[in-house]
Amino acid sequence: MKTIKAFGFYAAFSTIEALEVLAETYPLKLSIEAKGDTANISIVGAIYNFHNNSQWFRSEVEKVKKDGARNVHLYLNTPGGDVFEANEIGNIIESFDGEVTGEGGALVASAGTYIASKCKTFEMPSNGKYMYHKPFGRIEGNEDEVASKLELLKSLTSDYRKNYADKTIHSETQIEKNWVKGDVWLSAEQAKKEGFITSVKKKVTLSAEDATLIAACGAPNIPKIKNTKTEIKRMELSVLAVELGLPATATEAQVTAKLKQVTADAAKVQGLVQAKADQEKAEKAAKVKALLDGAEKDKKITAEQRPQWEVIANGNLEAATTAIGALKSITAISGELNPGATAAATAEQANWTYADYLEKNPAAFDKLPEAKQTALVDAYYQEN
């Protein structure tokens, strides 16, 4: 089994900050094994930083294909994760020539449901949880990169919506109405009734980790941990104690108490993380607004250019601040005009660009109608 140590967490939450809170607690674990003509693939944990190990996974897939595997049986127990990485995993799974079937563990959520949608049949235990929501992705980079990634995210959102609609009783319009309200939590029976999965099997025993993860993802009904002592006996007590932040010499009673505390505290994590994320989002939005308001007031950008600058600022506020700071205002430009320049545009000037006016005759540009000035400036910044 390959364990991918994540440096962030991004599962059923709506922010990167939430992803970073729990990533190292629930790292991505992948395994693949060929049995006859079927590749058994297991995906457990948060789908995050897969790109660090995608080469290994692809290599293992090619190995089992060479061994004769045409079909796939997939096991998923995941809170979801990065939509782009889930898309990559889904594409790898679809590269097999045969049939793809699957089953879920205690939790199949967020981007995990997209991978599940690749399966012809998908089964979950009766006490399993299924959650889908509108895809959310991290977008960083310069203006061109942000625009490109935004288009990719829009394409993936459309793909998610269509996949769900094709498999379920819902239309794309209804899927949009459902997830625009936030996370959509379903029991296994509800997921089957709506067509997200094809069958329900008997319930499974949930581990303390399963219950904690479900709680941390914000599920409305948190399962109770049963047979805690049995769970402890199945693991090396000292190892479990250390994982829980206790001394290796902790007693079974201390470990049991800590497990119960972790389960109770986990329900609070989502609210705290979300509140922090909302605050940071609001603060950033205020900074972006102040930056663009100031740029418009100083006549460095126009109202028509503002939406483009807003995308840039949301992607990289520091870079946008630097770029806007380097711009000259229209007022500053007009202050450099040659007072002896001719006001009327010549036939040659009819085809001039904004750069031509600045170089050859700034005064002529200042005499142009405002709409013409705006069009030339917009064209200039789009090209540059």
Determine phi and psi for 121, rounding to 5 degrees.
-130, 150
Quick check: helix, strand or coil at residue 43?
A: strand
> At residue 286, what is the residue type?
A
What domains, with CATH codes, occur in the chain? 2-220 (3.90.226.10), 227-327 (no CATH), 333-384 (no CATH)
Mean pLDDT of the chain: 81
Check whether 357 has a pLDDT greater than 90. Answer: no
Pairing state between β 28-35 and 38-44: antiparallel
Q: Report residue 180 CA to chain centroid gap.
A: 16
Rg (alpha carbons) of the chain, rounded to whole number: 27
List, in sequence order, the alpha helices (H) in the chain: 16-22, 54-66, 83-93, 111-116, 143-167, 172-179, 188-194, 208-216, 228-233, 237-243, 252-297, 306-315, 317-326, 330-334, 354-360, 362-367, 370-383
Question: What is the reported pLDDT for 339?
Answer: 46
pLDDT, average across residues 50-73: 86
Q: Could you tell me the two tokens for 57?
A: 């996974």
Other Cβ atoms less than 10 A from the Cβ of 139: the count is 18
* pTM check: above 0.75: no
pLDDT, average across residues 63-83: 92
Span of 17-31, 162-176, 276-290 with lowest mean pLDDT: 17-31
Cβ partners under 8 Å of residue 45, min gap 6:
4, 26, 27, 28, 29, 77, 78
Determine phi and psi for 171, rounding to 5 degrees.
-85, 170
Question: What is the reported pLDDT for 9?
Answer: 31
C-alpha closest to that of 46 among 123, 103, 107, 137: 107
What is the Cα–Cα distance from 51 to 275, expressed in whole angstroms? 29
Q: Helix 143-167 to helix 172-179 angle, to the nearest 10 degrees?
A: 120
Check whether 15 has a pLDDT greater than 60. Answer: no
- Which long-range contacts (C-beta less than 8 Å, at least 24 apart) are formed by 219-228? 219/129, 219/131, 219/185, 220/185, 222/263, 222/267, 223/106, 223/127, 225/259, 225/260, 225/263, 228/256, 228/259, 228/260
Question: What is the reported pLDDT for 19?
Answer: 59
Question: What is the reported pLDDT for 64?
Answer: 94
Asked if residue 148 lies in contact with residue 311, where contact means CB atoms within 8 angstroms, the answer is: no
Q: 102-116, 277-291, 302-316, 359-373 — which one is most confidently predicted on average?
A: 102-116
Between 380 and 302, residue with greater pLDDT? 302
Asked if residue 109 lies in contact with residue 131, where contact means CB atoms within 8 angstroms, the answer is: yes
> At residue 340, what is the residue type?
G
- Which long-range contacts (C-beta less than 8 Å, at least 24 apart) are formed by 374-383? 374/302, 374/304, 377/302, 377/305, 377/330, 378/302, 378/304, 378/305, 379/353, 379/354, 380/353, 380/354, 380/355, 381/305, 381/308
Split at pLDDT 50, 70, 90, the class of 243 is low
DSSP state of 351: G
What is the Cα–Cα distance from 281 to 302, expressed in whole angstroms? 25
